Structures are given as structure tokens and as C-alpha cells.
Amino acid sequence: MDVLRVQDLKCFYVVESQGQQREVKAVNGVSLNVKKNQVLGIAGESGCGKTTFLKSLLGLVRPPLRCLGGKVEYIGNGKATDIMSLSKHQHKELMWEHISYVPQGSLSVLNPVRRIGDTFESFIGAHMEPSTTKHQYEELVCSHLEALGLPEDTLRAYPHQLSGGMRQRVTIALATILKPHLILADEPSTALDVVVQRGVIQLLKDIQEEQQNTIILVTHDMAIHANICDRIAIMYAGKIIEEAGVEEIFSNPRHPYTQYLIGSLPRIGDKAHRISAPGSPPSLSDLPQGCSFHPRCPEATDNCRKEEPMLTGIGGDHRVACLSLTRGDFNADQAQVALDQ
Amino acid sequence: MPTRHKLLSINDVTKVFTIGGGFQRARLKAVEKASFALEEGKPEIFTLAGESGCGKTTLAKMILGLLEPTDGEVLHSGRSVQDLVKGDQRDDFNKKVQAVFQNPFETFNPLRPVDTYLLETARNYVTGGSNGASKNAVAEALDLVGISYSLVEDRYPHEFSGGQLQRISIARALITAPSLIIADEPVSMVDASLKMSVCNLFKVLKEEHQVNVIYITHDLATAYYVSDRIAIMFRGNIVELGPVNTVLVEPKHPYTRVLKDSVPEPDPSNKWSGRIKLSGFEERDFMRKGCKFAGRCPEVKAICEEEDPPMVAIGSGMVKCHLYAR
Amino acid sequence: MLRTLADMMNQDKRFAFGFTVMLILVALAFLSLFSPHDPRQWNVVPRDRPPSTQHLLGTTSTGQDVSWQATWAIRNTLLMSLIAMLSSRVLAIVIGLLAGYSGGTLDRILMTLTDSFVILPLLPILILVASILKQSLSVVNLGILLGAFGWAWDARLIRSQVLSLREREFTYTAILSGMSTPRIIFREYLPFIFPLITATAMNNMLWAIGMEVTLAVLGLVSLEVATLGTMIHWAVNSQSILLGMWWWILTPVVICIFIFIALYMLSLSINEILDPRLRVQRMTK
Ligand SMILES: Nc1ncnc2c1ncn2[C@@H]1O[C@H](COP(=O)(O)OP(=O)(O)O)[C@@H](O)[C@H]1O
Ligand SMILES: Nc1ncnc2c1ncn2[C@@H]1O[C@H](COP(=O)(O)OP(=O)(O)O)[C@@H](O)[C@H]1O
Ligand code: SF4
Ligand SMILES: [Mg+2]
Ligand SMILES: [Mg+2]
């Protein structure tokens, strides 16, 4: 069962510089379905549009970001809600009860001059039954914190008294205390030490298993994806260029970019020579014609310089946007497309 | 009879910072009795690894003569680095020892074109002023990292990607043809797809240009990939040291084990198993009397809380842990 | 140079306003060269006349022409604040850079000195010094005196800026590129410190003018020198308000207000234009 359906979403930053309008195509025609009770990972180099994609999923589309097409539908309680069509109030309701967001760099999200406990209170206070006593409320918060391995003192501390790892756990605690159906986490473990990183990622996974919710996890670290995701979508220059189950992506990457990405991952115990993709990603305001990866692609043909590849099923649950793969067996694709719909 | 000096030898180096002022003064041992050495004529890539705040950068700055050790000494070819940089031999020293820093966007002044640094380096150390010769030296170094001079000329840092800047920064360090490069987290801010090309560059430098590299990182997987030997640091101490093949494959120190277990494997069929315990307020380890890891160590013994463990030689490596003390 | 100026005039209204006002004031100051009267002499024109075509801003009870007197006052006040600003800039830069880059004992000594100047109650001390020196407090001397008291806070700013620059990675790159200390300071740091110096320069001029007016109103400077402060002093002391001679008191007061606003606007906009972070942002666009 799907909880989220994204159809051909296009969100661009429209910026003006030196009197000229420029479009930064950060989310450039993304289609994606997210199933219930699943961890979906989104991977890609910095600047490829991951954060922008999450923001547009949340309907946080404010200038200079503009939505130029497509649809984001959230499915809950048997009905589909178009997130862009909601009023401010409805949007707020939906956000805290069903979707929560752990923003990138969330270490700085906590108000530095308020105690953690106060932040919790103002955050969830509005969503409690009016009859909840202070005692019940405190019990709820404390038991939630305890489950995340945070001592009760944390509530009385100011953010600066906590280490980076603890602050990150606090923001995750905030995001999960209302048991949302869908959690969007943007680089939740980047900038943390490996040991703490493992703790934070495990924590997310535990919460997901216990609360049976869906997580969309953005990180550039493929090894993290391997450890907690069920499905992975690879983003390149504002587009999803490959999407499949986690085992499939790692054992059978099909897009040349994904192949480089997986092939260049270093592992302890393996000194074999690794090479990374040549060149660097294109500017999102000046994309190359055809496939945006073609200037770096070893398999590019003339066709790749003209035609834009579409994300197409190649069997199983595996979708790839690469002309070299989808060109040959066109009929099989059509069948797959029909199945997908 | 001339004695053969080690290229670099670090002898019981300690750095104490005093933090705060007035009555709230506290002493923080950022690096405590660190020792290791690099041999002359046997180029290697030596990794210093550990979590952030464990003292890696502080140690690097002491090796570069940018910070003065509180205790102990850093010797370069048998001569104290502090004497070299305080006397009139800073230039001689920097000709042989160069550095690459973590944040490529901070390595160069945002208000000045990047090539000024490359030209300065060439002028001050290699060509002694001649403009044409300096440009040639710069172009040669840029060539090694795969960037053409015309791409760099008169361009400001913001006009480059992080990966490009990091390679320009390495090129700057190469201009003087140094025998040692200290690279402080050179890939931690570089994208995955470029990480390996920087790592491969270090390997080429070692193998084809006889450059020693001290590679500082918190990423054990790239450390394993590039380096020959590794030292693991924890709260200012080197707790384990030896060839990467033993230290990272069969870690001996409990901390190295925890660290290695926490590194995610890029392999969905080999996910993390078991759980780890995260402590609450983590920052008190610096003040411990005995082993700094005692508070989190799964194998802690009574003696660990009381006495600082000795450095014990095992096989080709060293471990600072009571479990191995005789 | 002229192009940048024109650009700035176009882009920033505050800059345009401040710059135009200052330009007009400087022009007025130059007019003093053509003054038919000696500003020190009394009773050179009929007394107590309201503004007329002959005396554009009227005359005073001391028999001086207010408009010509004002040109002298503007000239002397601007000159005085310029001297105060320049001398305090020199002190602030030297002490700030030295303390920031050298660190250690020298830093501690210099900062103790700076801190004492920061916390000293300046006004009472200036009043004391001025009442001792009173008659010798000419334009130049007053400027130097104010300069000697006005550097401390800015030296502190410069020092802390240098301290933070010293810890930035590009400083290490510069050292490893073989650049000497003076070269690092002038090539690497000055672009960051320069905006600080210019912005605080305007503020410092504002402060010096404020101080001059205060001391003059209290009668603690050489009163025969025409400055905005002494003009106000004479006007107040001769009961100009009671006598309804608004032209006498309002002229220096309004000029003061214009100078204050103009300098303030200039400092705001220069601060913004030269802010290194914003500069990088603009370059990025
Ligand atoms: N406010 C903004 N205005 C203009 N461009 C922006 C803005 N925010 C981000 N961008 C650009 O959009 C692209 C995608 O950014 P982002 O979604 O943050 O990428 P990621 O999270 O994958 O690193 C980048 O090229 C970035 O420069
Ligand atoms: N100049 C300084 N003054 C005071 N403390 C410092 C200074 N530089 C580093 N430290 C402290 O020393 C410890 C080690 O820092 P550092 O060497 O930068 O660690 P790493 O590079 O391993 O992250 C940290 O706790 C840090 O806060
Ligand atoms: S479409 Fe062409 S250029 Fe793009 S990835 Fe596939 S083969 Fe390479
Ligand atoms: Mg992002
Ligand atoms: Mg560091």
C-alpha cells in the first residue's frame, strides 16, 4: 500500500542575477511511490537536489523555490491528499500528526536559549488532549526519551550542554514522539562520529520497526543506505536515475552512474583499486542536453546527447533512466509500465 | 660516522590547552605522549584516525611547527621542528613538509584568486622570483592533479567545486616537491564520486614520487584503502598503532573494535548486527585518571579506572591497553 | 573609481543621501575661504537681524553673520573630527593588529591598556582634561585629544577579527606558501579588516563631533574658534531662544543633525558593501 505518490514533480529555484532570470532545476520531473512500512533511501552527490526534493514533498515550497508542475499525494485514512492544495491550517495538521521532518543540520534547530523540556512542551503541547495532566505528559516524554537512551536530565539541559550526538537524538525524539506515519530525515547522521552515527541510525530503524511507519532517509553515504534501507533511489542532477530494492541496487546496479557509485565504495579488508566517475556534476541551471550524465558517461552514444532517458522498469521492481538499457527491449518496458500503473 | 636520522620522529609529544580564564580555568590535554616515526627513504602513507576532537589536527599542527608542543619534541631529519621554524629555517623546512587541509573552501582566502597561493609557493620556495619559471612550476604541479593552469588563472575559490579546490590545494603542496605531506581530513568534505580520485592521487604520489603522506581521517574505510600503517587516537592518546592489515582487520584495542564495528559496510547482506550502547553525557573522558576509554569499554577491569595503561608491543604493532599488559 | 561611486549611488539610497549631504557640507566648508569677515571678530555686521537677502541666515547678538559663521564652523568641526578619526584609526590599527597577531604577553599588556580605555568614563575625564587645557584646545589639539581617547573599542574589534582570521585555514595556507608575517597581514587580512576600519571611521567621526559639541556647550574649549559646538554655546549663552532668534540657534543644530544622519547612513551602507561575507555572496551570483 502506498503512503506517498509523487508524479512528475518539478520544483525549480527561480533566481535573478544581473537582471536575468535563471532556473535552478533542483527537482526536475521526479516520479516515485513510497510504500507503507518501508525505509526508502535517497542517495546522490551534494547539490543534486535531495534536500529540495524533501522540502517539496513537505509542501515547503517558498520563493525562490517554485513548483512548476507535478503532484505530491499523501495517502492516509483511505483518502489521498494533494499536499500543495492544502490551506495553511490543514497543512499544519497533516504535518505534525502524520508527517514529520528532521531537517538537514538539525543540530542547530533547537532553540539555544530554551531548555530541551520547554521545546518539547511547546512542540507537543498543542497536540495533547486538553485533559492530559502535567504528570501524564511528563511520563510520555520521559519514557520516549528513555527508549532512545537519553537520560531524564536531558530535559533540563540547554542545547549547548549536550554533545552533537545527543542533540541529534533529541531532534529525532521530537520528530517521532507523536508517532507520525511518515518520517523524512535529511542527512541525520552526517557530521556525527561513526559510533554515534551507528547509534542514531539504529535508533531510526528501531523506531520504524516499533511504530511501523515509513521513513524517507536522505544521505550521501551509500554504506548507511545498505544498512537500513529497503529501497534506494539514486538522484543525479535533479532526477531519479535508478530505483530498486537495496540488494538489487548493490548487487546489480544498471545505470553507469550507480555503477561508479557502488564500485568506488571502499571496504575494510579489500584493497582492490577503485575508480570514481570522471568529471563533476553539471550545473543545475545549465543542464546538458539529452541525458544529464552523458558528459561523464563511458557508454554515451550520440543518442544520449539528444534524447532524455525516462525512468523505466527493467523487470522486478527495478527502474532505470538510461538509454543504453531501455533502448533494446522496448516491448518489455511497455509491459512493465503497464504493470506499474 | 653519520647517523641515519628518521624522516620524522615524534617523541612523547603532549599539548595542553588552557581553556576559559580567571577562576574557571581548565586544562585540556588535547594530545598526550604521542610517539611514532616515519623512516627515511621508505615512503609510506601513515593514517591518524579517530573521532572528532581526539587531537588529530592538534598533532598535525605540531608536526607542521604551527603549534608548540607543551612537552616532548617533533624531529624532522633529526632536528627539532620548533628550532627550525623559530630560527631562520622555516623555508627549508616547509620546502620538505607541506600540508593539505580539510575544508577546501577555507583553504584559500575567499577574497583572493586561488592561483596567488600557488604562485607565492613557487616564488618563495622554488624559483626565487622569476614569473615565467613560477608559472611553469605551478602548471607542472597542477598537471599532476589533472587540472590545467588556464582553468585556475585569476579565478576565485567560489568558482570551483569542492573537489576541484581540494585538488588545487594538493597541487599547491606539491610545488615544492616535498618529502612529506600532512593531509588533514582531505576527503571529508569531498563528494563520494571524487573521494577515491583524491585517495588514488595519494597512492600515486607515494609510489611514483616517493612522497610520504600523513593521512588524517575519521573514515576507516578510506584509511584501509590508502594507507600502510595506521594509528588510532582516542581522547588525545594513540591507543593502537600498526599496519592497517592487522589494526583494521584484527583490531586488538577495545576502542578500535568498537570503532570498526560502527563503520557501516556497503553491503546489504552484511548489516550491523548486535547493538551498541550510547552513553549520555559523553564529554567527561578527558578528565579520567586511568584509561580514557574505561567509561565505555566493554572489557573494563578494575585497574583500568586507576592506572594509565602502558603501550605494549604486540607483533608488528602497539596497543595501549591493560588487557595486553604483562 | 567613479563608476563604482555611481553604481553605489544608484544601488543604495542611504549611500546616495549620505554622500550628497557630505559633499554639500564640504562645499560649504570651502566657501569659508571667501568669507568677507574674520570669524573671531565681533560686531562686524549689524546685530540681531533676521534672515534677509543681505544676511541669508540673519546675524547674531555678537554682530556676526550666521551664514558665514556656519561655513567656518562646518570647516572646523569637520577638520577636528577628521583629525580625531585619523589619529584614532592609526592607534586602533597598530594596537589591534599587533595585539591580535603577536599574542602572548604583548597582547595581554596591550589589551589591559585597551580595556582600561574602554571602561574609563570618558566624558568626565575629557571634561577634566579640557578644563585644564581649556584655552589651548584649538581645532587640531582637540582633534588629537579626542583621537587619543577614541581608539580603544575599535582596536578591540580589529584584534578579535585578526584572532579569528589567524585560526582560519587560509592563514596556514599562506604560511605554508612562504608568505612573511607583514605580507600575510597586508595581503590576507586587510581585505577583511578594511571594512571594519571604514565603518568605524564614520562612527568615530560622529562620536568626535558629539563630544566637541558637548564640551563646547559646557564652555570647555577655546571659544573664539568657530565650530558647530561653539556656535551653539554662544547662541545658548546669549538667550537666543528667549529672544526669539531661532535662526541663530537652529542653524548649527540643524547642520549637526544633517551631519549625524549622513555619517550614520554612510557607515551603514559602507559596512554592507564591504562586508566580506556579502561580498562573496555577490561574487557568487
Ligand atoms: N535558496 C536557493 N536559491 C537558489 N538555489 C538554491 C537554493 N537552495 C539550493 N539551491 C540549489 O539547488 C540545488 C540543490 O540543492 P539541495 O537540494 O540542497 O541539494 P542536496 O541536498 O542534494 O545537497 C543546488 O545546486 C543548490 O545550489
Ligand atoms: N586552540 C585551542 N584552544 C583550546 N582547545 C583547543 C584548541 N584547539 C583544539 N582544542 C581542543 O583540543 C581537542 C582536540 O582538537 P583537535 O586536535 O582539533 O581534534 P580533531 O582534529 O581530532 O578533531 C578538542 O577537544 C578541541 O576542543
Ligand atoms: S543514458 Fe547514455 S549517457 Fe546517460 S547514463 Fe545511460 S549511457 Fe550514459
Ligand atoms: Mg542537502
Ligand atoms: Mg580536525
List the CATH number of the domain containing C216. 1.10.3720.10
Q: Is C252 domain-assigned?
A: yes
pLDDT digits (tens, 9 = 90+) for B129-170: 788 899 999 999 998 888 888 888 888 888 888 888 998 999
Q: Which domain covers residue A322, as residue numbers?
A: 239-336
Looking at the domain assignment, is residue A243 inside a domain? Answer: yes
Position B87 confidence tier, pLDDT thresholds 50, 70, 90? confident
Whether residue C276 is predicted with pLDDT greater than 70 in this model: the reply is: no
At A22, phi and psi to the nearest 5? -135, 140
Residue A250 lies in a domain: yes
**Residue A232 Cβ < 6 Å to ligand 3:** no
Q: Distance between CA B274 and CA B305 in Å, rounded?
A: 26
Q: What is the DSSP letter of A131?
A: T
Asked whether residue A234 is assigned to any structural domain, the reply reads no
- Where b means 16+ CB within 10 Å and e means fewer, A282-313 reads bebeebeebbbbbbbbeebeeebeeeebbbbb
**Residue B72 binned pLDDT confidence (cut-offs 50, 70, 90):** very high
Which domains does chain B possess? 8-264+275-324 (3.40.50.300)
Tell me whether residues B224 and A266 touch, CB distance under 8 A: yes
Task: Say what the pTM is.
Answer: 0.83
Nearest to B282 among A46, A163, A224 (CB): A163
Distance (Å, whole) CA C263 – CA C14: 10
Measured in degrees and rounded to the nearest 5, phi and psi for residue C270 equal: -65, -40
Q: How far is CA A256 from CA A25, A146, A158, A159, B127, in A?
A: 22, 45, 47, 44, 45
Cell numbers describing residue B34 = 604521542
Contact A99, A182 (CB under 8 A): yes
Distances (CA, A) of A290 to A337, B291, B301: 21, 60, 64
- Long-range pairs for B283-287 at CB < 8 Å and ≥24 separation? B283/A163, B285/B235, B286/B28, B286/B29, B286/B235, B286/B236
Q: Cell numbers at residue A247, please? A: 540488494
The answer to the question of residue C279 being in a domain is yes
Buried b or exposed e, range C259-276, using 16+ CB within 10 angstroms: beebbebbbbbbbebbbb
CA atoms within 13 A on the CB side of C140: 0
Same domain, A166 and A299: no
Strands, E, within chain A: which ranges?
A: 2-17, 20-35, 39-43, 65-76, 79-82, 99-102, 182-186, 214-218, 231-236, 239-245, 312-313, 319-320
Cβ–ligand 2 contact at B54 (below 6 Å): yes
C149/C143 Cα distance (integer angstroms)? 10
Domain final position from A229, A255, A280: A229
Cell of C148: 587619543
In a domain, A328, yes or no: yes
Determine contact, residues C156/C114, Cβ cutoff 8 Å.
yes
Nearest chain C Cα distance for residue B90, angstroms = 8
Cβ atoms < 10 Å from Cβ of C20 = 12
Instruction: Give me the sign of the Cα torsion angle C5, C9, C10, C11.
Output: positive
H or E element, residue C203: helix C190-217
In one letter, which amino acid is C128? L
CA distance A277 to A287: 18
Tell me the C-alpha to C-alpha distance, in Å, between residue C77 and each of C41, C82, C204, C205.
19, 8, 13, 10
A153 contact residues in B (CB cutoff 8 A): 280-281
The terminus-to-terminus CA distance of chain B in angstroms comes to 38
Same domain, A16 and A77: yes
Given this model, what pLDDT does residue A189 score? 82
Q: Taking 80 as the threshold, does the pLDDT of residue C109 lie above it? A: yes
Collapsing DSSP to helix, strand or coil, A3 comes out as strand
Q: Is the minimum distance from the CB of A46 to ligand 1 under 6 angstroms?
A: yes
Q: Which of B29, B31, B35 is nearest to B74 (CA)?
A: B35
DSSP string, C137-195: --HHHHHHHHHHHSSHHHHHHHHHHHHHHHTSHHHHHHHHTT--HHHIIIIIIHHHHHH
B275 and chain A in contact, CB less than 8 A: yes
Alpha helical stretches, state H, A48-87? 50-57
Nearest to B309 by CA among B7, B63, B32, B20: B32
**Residue labelled with grid coordinates 538522484:** A235
Most B CBs within 10 A among A198, A219, A231, hence the mutation to make, goes to A198
Q: Which of C64, C30, C48, C77 is nearest to C216 (CA)?
A: C77
Ligand 3 pocket test target in A235, A242, A308, A323 with most atoms within 8 Å of CB = A323
Residue with the larger pLDDT of the pair A106 and B249 = B249
Question: A128 and A24 in one domain?
Answer: yes
Residue among C276, C272, C246 nearest C13 (CA):
C272
In a domain, A98, yes or no: yes
> What is the CATH classification number for the domain harbouring A145?
3.40.50.300
Q: At residue A65, what are phi and psi to the nearest 5 degrees? A: -75, 135
Tell me the percentage of chain C whose pLDDT exceeds 70: 95
Distances from the Cα of A314 to the Cα of A251, A291, A317, angstroms: 15, 18, 8
pLDDT digits (tens, 9 = 90+) for C114-145: 998 888 888 888 888 888 887 777 888 889 98
- Quick check: C177 and B112 CB within 8 A? no
Total count of domains within chain A: 2
Predicted pLDDT of residue C278: 67
Query: How far is Cα B311 from Cα B325, in angstroms, rounded to an integer?
Result: 8
Q: Which amino acid is at B276?
A: I
Q: What is the ipTM of this complex?
A: 0.86
Q: State the Cα–Cα distance between residues B114 and B165, nearest whole angstrom.
A: 9
- Strand ranges of the sheet holding A2-17, from the earlier edge strand across to the other edge: A20-35, A2-17, A65-76, A79-82
Regarding the beta carbon of A323 and ligand 3, being less than 6 Å apart is answered yes
For chain A, count helices (H), then strands (E).
12, 12
Which ligand gives the minimal distance to the CA of A235? Answer: 1
CB contact B23 to A (< 8 Å)? no
Q: Which of B197, B210, B214, B191 is nearest to B100 (CA)?
A: B214
Ligand 2 and B311: CB distance under 6 A: no
Quick check: is C6 in a domain?
no
Nearest-CA distance A83 → chain B (Å) = 32
Peptide bond into B309 cis (omega under 30): no
Mean of pLDDT values over C29-54: 80
* Number of domains within chain C: 1
Do A166 and A20 belong to one domain? yes
Cα(B145)–Cα(B197) distance, integer angstroms: 9
Query: At which of A197, A229, A261 does a domain end?
Result: A229
**A94/A221 same-domain check:** yes
Element (H, E) at A128: none
pLDDT band at B214 (very low <50, low <70, confident <90, very high): very high
Does residue A319 contact residue A249 with C-beta atoms inside 8 Å?
no
Same-domain pairing of A303 and A216:
no
Ion ligand 5 residue ranges (Cβ < 5 Å) = B 57
- Taking the CA atoms of residue A202, residue A208, residue A211 and residue A212 in that order, the dihedral angle to the nearest 10 degrees is -150
Mean pLDDT of B256-265: 91
pLDDT (0 to 100) of residue A174: 84
Q: Are residues A146 and A216 in the same domain?
A: yes
pLDDT of residue B279: 58
* Model confidence band, residue C32 (pLDDT cutoffs 50, 70, 90): confident
- 3-state SS of chain B is CCCCCCCEEEEEEEEEEEECCHHHCEEEEEEEEEEEEECCCCCCEEEEECCCCCCHHHHHHHHCCCCCCCEEEEEECCEEHHHHHHCCCHHHHHHHEEEECCCHHHHCCCCCCCHHHHHHHHHHHHHCCCHHHHHHHHHHHHHHCCCCHHHHCCCCHHHCCHHHHHHHHHHHHHCCCCCEEEEECCCCCCCHHHHHHHHHHHHHHHHHHCCEEEEEECCHHHHHHHCCEEEEEECCEEEEEEEHHHHCCCCCCHHHHHHHHHCCCCCCCCCCCCCCCCCCCCCCHHHCCCCCCCCCCCCCCHHHHHCCCCEEEECCEEEECHHHCC
C-alpha cell at B187: 576527503
CB contact under 8 A, C178 and B94: yes
Task: Name which of A49, A20, A23, A54 is nearest A281 in CA terms.
Answer: A49
Chain A, chain B: beta-carbon pairs less than 8 Å apart = 139
Q: How far is the CA of A48 from the centre of ligand 4 (A)?
A: 8
Cα separation, C123 vs A187, in Å, equals: 55
Q: Which residues are CB-contacts of C60 (< 8 A; sequence separation ≥ 6)?
A: C47, C48, C66, C69, C234, C235, C238, C240, C245, C248
In a domain, A57, yes or no: yes
Ligand 5 centre distance from Cα of residue B184 (Å): 7
Last residue within a domain, chosen from A177, A202, A229: A229
Per-residue pLDDT of chain A (341 residues), as tens digits, is 889 999 999 999 998 766 678 889 999 999 999 999 999 999 998 889 999 999 999 988 888 899 999 999 998 877 888 988 888 888 888 887 788 888 887 666 788 888 888 888 877 776 666 677 778 888 888 888 887 778 888 888 888 888 777 888 888 888 888 888 899 999 888 777 888 888 888 888 888 998 899 999 999 899 999 999 999 999 999 999 999 999 999 999 999 999 999 999 999 999 999 988 888 888 888 899 999 999 999 989 999 999 999 999 998 899 999 998 876 544 444 444 444 44
- Give the count of beta carbons closer than 10 Å to the beta carbon of residue A95: 17
Q: Work out the pLDDT band at C60, boundaries 50, 70, 90.
A: confident
Q: Is residue A341 part of a domain?
A: no
Its domain, for residue C65, covers: 58-284
Q: What is the reported pLDDT for A334?
A: 43
Q: Indicate the pLDDT class of residue C196, thresholds 50, 70 and 90.
A: confident
